[in-house]
Amino acid sequence: MLHDDAGNGLALGTSADDPVFLCAVIEDAAGRAIIRNLIDGESEALLLDLLHQRAAARTAAAIPPYRPAPGVEPGP
């Protein structure tokens, strides 16, 4: 589970009912699920391929994977 500074969270996992589906859940600070999205194995493979292509393009262009928000100094 990933959380931001406001306490919102994101979790990824497989469905207990059908492990072929990837479940993405976004929760608000109170822990209530506000979005639930299921994608099948084919869609997951496409998404992973696109993410890998993006990472390769960023690496080739020497763009860091994460940038601080405008006006925020990068950490050590």
Q: pLDDT by residue (tens digit) across 12-42?
A: 777 677 776 777 777 877 777 755 555 666 7
Specify the pTM: 0.37
Which DSSP symbol is given to 16?
A: S
Secondary structure class of 11 (helix, strand, coil) = strand
Neighbouring residues of 12: CB distance < 8 A, sequence distance ≥ 6 = 22, 23, 24, 25
